[in-house]
Amino acid sequence: MDLELRHLRIVRAVADAGSVSKAASLLGLAQPALTAQLKRIERVLGGALFERDRHGARPTRLGELVLARARVLLPAAKELQDEAVRFAHAPSPGFRIGATNGPILGGLVDRLAAERTVSTYTSWSTHELNSMVELGRLDYVLTGACGDSGTPTGTLLWETISVDPVFCLVNDDHPAAREKEVELSDLAGEQWAVTPGDGCFADCFAMACARAGFTPGTIYETDVPTCTHLAQVGRAVVLCQATHQPAQGLTMVPLAGAPLRWRQLLGRHPTAPEAAWVVAQAKQAHMDAVRRSPIYYDWLVRNPGYGTAP
């Protein structure tokens, strides 16, 4: 058996407590188990570390030597551990951004990368990304929530980047593709496709359909390429963010009255670097996305209460 830091902690605990029984209580061990462990440590070190009698335990000369070294090594090891954790979780010189599926991450990365290094991590799970920011593994998280839901709870600081309507994607031959906007009730007989997430969007969609007088049929929850394919072949109508850029063969159509809304949110760790500047860049990235979408830009002219947050 080699000597380990935990053995030095045992020796220090016995010396500080003045008896094996008290040390066992402090360490949460049974006294016989601690006594056996102490004997094994003494065998490794070559002699008795304590003189034990009914009055307690007192260090021998060898014990005094071991204790002197332990009182230096144990704090040093703890300091090393704490420093390593701080270093591992310290903000990087650049920006570490997590994001769920959304159309403005690329624009934000492009803007930030012009000034700093940027790393990204994507996930369907908002909870996973939020946890990574709380643990210091990410600086920011770009995510979203239904328009009527509250701001996520926890230690993160949140900014609303935009409030956007949810539009739909249909293939170019779909009757709705020729309309300036479509009533949700006119799509009652359709199948649907959405990207996955762990928020309340599915519930919000079901309630919007109920208000429109129907229960939605099959809902395919899948990745963006599969959603795109299902819409292109006419298998499903895709629910999308208004800043989405449709693929070839697809038309984005607003839903009349905006029965579904989506808030783009930027969460950050309290120590995240250059927060005000990053928030401003996220809002600019959203404005850029709006300008690239003539359908949404035109819709905003008629519905000025939406778009990039002030």
**pLDDT tens sequence across 247-294:** 999 999 999 999 999 999 999 999 999 999 999 999 999 999 999 999
Structure tokens at 255: 């839903």
Residues of the chain with pLDDT under 50: none
What is residue 90's predicted lDDT score, i.e. its pLDDT? 62
Please tell me the distance from the alpha carbon of residue 99 to that of residue 189, in angstroms, as a whole number.
Answer: 33
Residue 308 phi, psi (nearest 5): -65, 135
DSSP letter string, 175-202: GGGGSSSB-GGGGTT--EEE---SSSHH
On whether the CB atoms of residues 295 and 168 are closer than 8 A, the answer is: no
Looking at the domain 95-308, which fold is it?
A: D-Maltodextrin-Binding Protein; domain 2 (3.40.190)
Residue 195 phi, psi (nearest 5): -80, 150
Torsion sign across C-alpha atoms 170, 172, 175, 181: positive
Nearest alpha carbon to residue 203 among 154, 255, 260, 256: 260
Domain layout of the chain by residue ranges: 5-89, 95-308
Longest Cα–Cα distance of the chain, Å, equals 96
**Within a 10 A sphere around the Cβ of 184, how many other Cβ atoms?**
22
**pLDDT tens sequence across 232-244:** 999 999 999 999 9
Cα 101–chain centre separation: 13
What is residue 91's predicted lDDT score, i.e. its pLDDT? 57
Please tell me the distance from the alpha carbon of residue 247 to that of residue 184, in angstroms, as a whole number.
Answer: 22
Q: CATH says 5-89 is which class? A: mainly alpha
Residue 307 phi, psi (nearest 5): 105, -160
On whether the CB atoms of residues 253 and 176 are closer than 8 A, the answer is: yes
Q: Which helix (H) or strand (E) holds 94?
A: none
Please tell me the distance from the alpha carbon of residue 6 to that of residue 53, in angstroms, as a whole number.
Answer: 24
On whether the CB atoms of residues 254 and 186 are closer than 8 A, the answer is: no
Please tell me the distance from the alpha carbon of residue 239 to that of residue 252, in angstroms, as a whole number.
Answer: 9
What is residue 83's predicted lDDT score, i.e. its pLDDT? 80
Structure tokens at 185: 């009730």
State the Cα angle at 190 between 186 and 196, rounded to 5°: 115
Nearest alpha carbon to residue 10 among 61, 29, 64: 29
Strand pairing category for 118-122 and 219-221? unpaired
What is residue 86's predicted lDDT score, i.e. its pLDDT? 74
3-class SS of residue 96: strand
Dihedral of the alpha carbons of 50, 51, 52, 53, in degrees to the nearest 10 = -160
Structure tokens at 240: 């999308």
